[in-house]
Structure 1
């Protein structure tokens, strides 16, 4: 990273209607003063691949450096390395200006390919500046600067961000990635609650902690803290603030369900503790209302569970054998409700095709009996299928063997669209048949598809969060995705976004009154307020206006969104209707 030093220019991009100031119009003395206010921790946003480029666009800092380039090339798709950097995003389209095709990317399939490095390295959508936060006053300084100078402010953590919420051209980022530390309190009582409050098994961690840190900590302390699909995700960031699902969510609930307390700095400048006993409206909103919207989380305390064994399964299906796929998906849709009742969570991969399952509440004998029909189907009624079932001694050993066997894409562009599939679909024979057929066909419509059997059905409905009620009425979160490389242009991207939205339409039609998971949704999700939050949206908007009256925090399709014509969104592909 490069700290503030001298004057600079930003990339000149076309201007849409906006009241925000251009970064270039803010005097150098103001940046110098901000740098002093935050203890010299104002950093420049430098594209990750910058050391590999001889030519750069206006406003790009850094220099060409062969040794540094070699490091970038070696780690270009390394998730833990990427999430530790300020100027990186796990899915690289959010480092670029998609509407103008300005970027600074390598070939993720061959990072030493010289062709992309012969181009111009542009700033794209990487924030021009960021505050490397270590204390609450740093966040307050960022908000005050934003309000005074009109520069858009964003919240940046690990860069796991499918919708571009944590970046944008000409923005100032509040970067919380270096707030570390993990502590365990087996008798945690939320701050300000009566001493008579029933204590809970709590683990408190800084905003910059990633699940890799937390899973290791939990194992060392004989705990289970369920994670999502990638250990480089930040468990205090947008993941729990938007909901947060994982293989064990059916039993242990969404990440939002497990939050016990948050330490927050709001755009009003308040440094608050939010829990069930104080600032309860903010506590409700920030457990499901979305990250980068209501305030900046510095620390979070989550419910932890005792260490547990995991009944683990992984099976694959040979898609070249006629009828295999439809037979497999018919079986899964017919048995989904029973599996949810028995405490199974699973990732169902139409594009693999195959399935990974986990269960922490059945005994090994019960788990084998439960899985016997599925094993029989794959091993005795389907040619070319595989089956593996083990009893893992704890969550840490289970996670790399089963969850990350099909890795989350890192270091290249990927966009998603999703739909929550309600229980009612699985209760209807005709709708189950429609779903199985749609699952069989989806691999031809979208390059990547996963049905996450992780809705908190067994855990039960938790009305104390702002997560969409559709989550608690569903069994599956169905997601489709597409990917592309450095050489895709604006026309290609427009087609990809459009096609992906079309690919999810059969599931929207099958579940028209359900919703989508806001963290993994279509960038151009129709009726997004209803889709992401349902009946919770009006209350969320009221809380947004209370804690962020000047709307300093704004992000694409977030609560209180100012709309696509704000200048910070000029790098999005502008599709008709948006």
Structure 2
């Protein structure tokens, strides 16, 4: 029997009771309405949509934690607005509030791509058993399934209308280990310090437990409200990736619910193919991760930052400044001590927002002194914001109480009554809360561009790029310059191998204020958003003249990327696709431009007959 015939037969089995009970006419009409080359999942109102009794059984199976979802903005009609609407508008700039709403996402949408719309129902999972029940229900009833932890996906992969949501927000247990060995690895894997984290935890939860209270380091994300599970599955860069590698490379073990409802442990010794796949293969494509165990590391004595802004008086001076900065980076910063970014604006201004580890403040100041001497010696440049270095004891890096006392305003807390005191985000990340994306492009830049004979090519492309839009070079999102051990560990992940030889990830992005459907007030200016997106497209095209084959980071990339398989995973994609076929042959798990998504329609509801 051909594979497609086998799948047809499997899909037909649940139809038999309805056919025998007189539902044949309705089913036939539904089938006739389907394009010939697709097979569809069911939506509300379809004949096959689960009955009220079926939903009630699921509610019973998950201990009452089945929620029927509606956006709080659905009540934002004519004045007076509903209490839910007013509450949502009050906390629109609070990512902790947005994360606590199963009907909302941290991004409100992307022009001409998607808008944040709630699932029909959500299982507010508190245990792996809840996740199993939701997965089995979705499979048995042919539902579109969505998984959300932090809800930060720029691509809209953590929501979908007419779907069933597995919401892991409440699975936040964290446990530190002095000596952890993966299941089945005794005798082959040395015990090591580690932390086990529930799938719903945010990185601020992890940092608070591991660093502030535990005195160790775990490689995670820079934005504190990002979900741990999603970041690890997408690769996972933090501010200090050139020192500690990627979050995916630090994964020791995971518990994952697969499409058949089985609970599997995945590590280097048990289900190693699945383990490799979730290390950078993208969240939501291979199963529902419910727990992760990550290695922890010794803390350096200090973490620190260097920030400031330099403006050039002319285009000629700006190009010269770009050239000097590229050379300076290659000479002084291209090593494991330094991370984060330098942004090159279209207004001939450079913004420096770098971090360091393994140095004390005077050492960091000494590193930057030659560049600042060069700038001060030339009248065509001005320090719009002084370039200054600051350091702090590493244990206080994510210590909310420390920042409240010593640096108020650097962090922003959850302003709701009774909110955990440690729930803070960096003030610089608040602009992303609820944002409506106009465009987002990224490209890994190989270290070969830093060679003396190629720097001019990079400088020309970078200057040309800024004539259309500003660009940030995120040096912590490329592993070139890291230690051989960290590069080797990242090589054993599914992330695009280009990251191993990239000195930076270039990011070009633009956005507008929150635009959740139903919100009162002015709607997004779509014409302006499209013009801005077009300018960003010209900018990335100009930058790619320096490296036409540059890939892109799956979590920070263009929604409209055409060659996404190669861009996101490069030569790893065939192996990832094989893992997908093994553990999810029917394609229960779907996300936009995720592994295996080419077999489905853009909304994930209809499967191609030839897939």
TM class by smaller structure: 0.7 to 0.9
* Aligned match of 2:422: none
Alignment of 1:33-112 (within 5 A): 33-54=57-78, 64-66=81-83, 68-93=84-109
Describe the shift of the 1:564–1:335 C-alpha distance in structure 2 as closer, same or farther (beyond 3 A): farther
Map residues 85-234 of structure 1 onto 2, 5 A cutoff.
85-93=101-109, 125-195=117-187, 197-217=189-209, 218-234=211-227
- Does 1:424 pair with 2:448? yes
Matched, 1:326 2:319: yes
Deviation at 1:494, TM superposition (A): 5.2
Q: Compute the displacement of 1:267 (Å).
A: 0.9
Is the Cα–Cα contact under 8 Å of residues 456 and 472 in structure 1 kept in the other structure? yes
Contact 2:254-2:291 at 8 Å conserved across structures: yes
Q: Provide the alpha-carbon RMSD of the alignment.
A: 2.8
Partner deviation per Cα, 1:243-279 (whole Å, 9 max, x = no partner): 1112100111011111111111111212011111111
Q: Paired residue for 1:394?
A: 394
Separation (CA, whole Å) in 2 of partners of 1:416 and 1:152: 27
Moved more, 346-355 or 151-160: 346-355
Describe the superposition over 1:88-139 as per-residue Cα deviations: whole angstroms up to 9, x where unpaired.
Answer: 1111016x9x57x9x7xxxxxxxxxxxxxxxxxxxx6321111111222222
Contact 1:18 1:566 in 2 (8 A): no
1:398 and 1:325 map into 2 onto residues whose CA distance is 36
CA distance in 1, matches of 2:538, 2:466: 13
Q: Corresponding residue for 1:464?
A: 492
d(CA) in 1 for partners of 2:605 and 2:528?
A: 19
- Compared CA separation, residues 71 and 196, structure 1 to 2 (3 A): same
Alignment of 1:349-364 (within 5 A): 349-351=343-345, 353-364=350-361
Three-state SS of the structure 1 residue aligned to 2:194 is strand
Cα gap change, 1:422 to 1:212, in 2 (>3 Å):
same
Residue matched to 1:110 = none
Q: Secondary structure at the match of 1:503?
A: helix
* Alignment correspondent of 1:482: 510
1:267 and 1:295 in contact (8 A); partners too: yes
Deviation at 1:495, TM superposition (A): 5.1
> Partners of 2:494 and 2:152 in 1: how far apart?
21
Deviates more, 1:191-200 or 1:460-469: 191-200
Q: Per-residue deviation at 1:44? A: 2.2
Distance 1:508 1:149 in 2: 46
Does the C-alpha gap of structure 1 residues 443 and 322 become closer, same or farther in structure 2, counting only changes over 3 Å?
closer
Q: Is the 8 A contact 2:465 2:538 kept in 1?
A: no
CA distance in 2, matches of 1:379, 1:405: 30
Please give the per-residue CA displacement for 1:199-243, whole angstroms capped at 9, x wherever unaligned: 222011111111121222221111123442311001122x11111
Deviation larger for 501-510 or 542-551: 501-510
Larger mean CA deviation between 263-272 and 376-385 belongs to 376-385
Structure 2 CA distance for aligned equivalents of residues 529 and 141 of structure 1: 31
Task: Please say if 1:344 is aligned against 2:338.
Answer: yes
- The structure-2 alpha-carbon separation of the partners of 1:136 and 1:18, relative to structure 1 and needing over 3 Å to count, comes to same
Task: Provide the secondary structure at the position in 1 that maps to 2:291.
Answer: strand
Secondary structure in structure 2 of the residue aligned to 1:510 = coil
Is the 8 Å Cα contact of residues 350 and 449 (structure 1) preserved in structure 2?
A: yes
* 1:526 pairs with 2:562: yes
User: Contact conserved, 1:250 with 1:340, CA < 8 A, in 2?
Assistant: no
Q: CA deviation at 1:453?
A: 0.5
Change in 2 beyond 3 A, CA 1:333/1:21: same
Distance in 1 between residues matched to 2:56 and 2:317, nearest whole Å: 64
Stretches of structure 2 that go unaligned for 5 or more consecutive residues are 1-32, 404-409, 412-424, 516-522, 607-611
Structure 1 position 171, deviation (Å): 1.2
Is the contact made by 2:303 and 2:393 (CA closer than 8 Å) also made in structure 1?
yes
> In structure 1, what is the Cα distance between the partners aligned to 2:525 and 2:264?
44
Q: 2:597 aligns with which of 546, 561, 565?
A: 561
Q: What SS does the corresponding residue of 2:326 show, helix, strand or coil?
A: helix
Q: Shift in Å at residue 560 of structure 1?
A: 0.7
Contact 1:312 1:392 in 2 (8 A): no
Residue of structure 1 equivalent to 2:459: 436
Could you tell which deviates more after superposition, 290-299 or 187-196? Answer: 187-196
- CA–CA separation in structure 2 for the residues paired with 1:425 and 1:253: 21
Do the aligned residues in 1 keep the contact of 2:148 with 2:166 (CA within 8 Å)? yes
Matched ranges for 1:284-323 at <5 A: 284-308=276-300, 309-318=302-311, 323=316
Residue 27 of structure 2 is matched in structure 1 by none
Range 533-542 or range 371-380, more displaced: 371-380
1:416-458 residue CA offsets vs partner (Å, 9 max, x unmatched): 11000011111153x4223334434444423x63210011231
SS in 2 for 1:187: strand
Residues 182, 398 of structure 1: alpha-carbon distance in 2 compared, 3 angstrom cutoff: closer
What do the CA deviations read for 1:369-405 (whole angstroms, capped 9, x no partner)? 3222233244554323411112211164379759935
Contact 2:254 2:275 in 1 (8 A): yes
Shift of 1:536: 0.6
Normalising by the residue count of structure 2, what TM-score does the alignment of the two structures yield? 0.79
Whole-angstrom distance in 2 between the partners of 1:149 and 1:196: 42
SS at match of 2:59: helix
- What is the deviation of 1:497? 4.5
Does the CA-based 8 Å contact 1:23-1:151 persist in structure 2?
Answer: no
- C-alpha deviation, 1:550, in angstroms: 1.0
Q: Secondary structure at the match of 1:555?
A: coil
Q: Secondary structure in 1 aligned to 2:255?
A: strand
| Deviates further, 309-318 or 195-204 | 195-204
Moved over 6 A (4+): none
Please say if residues 140 and 267 of structure 1, whose CA atoms lie closer than 8 Å, have aligned partners that are also in contact: no
Q: Give how far 1:496 is off.
A: 5.0
The aligned counterpart of 2:22 is none
**Aligned counterparts of 2:289 and 2:434: Cα–Cα separation in 1:** 26
After TM superposition, give the deviation of residue 507 of structure 1 in Å. Answer: 2.8
TM (normalized to structure 1)?
0.83
Counterpart for residue 415 of structure 2? none
SS in 1 for 2:200: coil
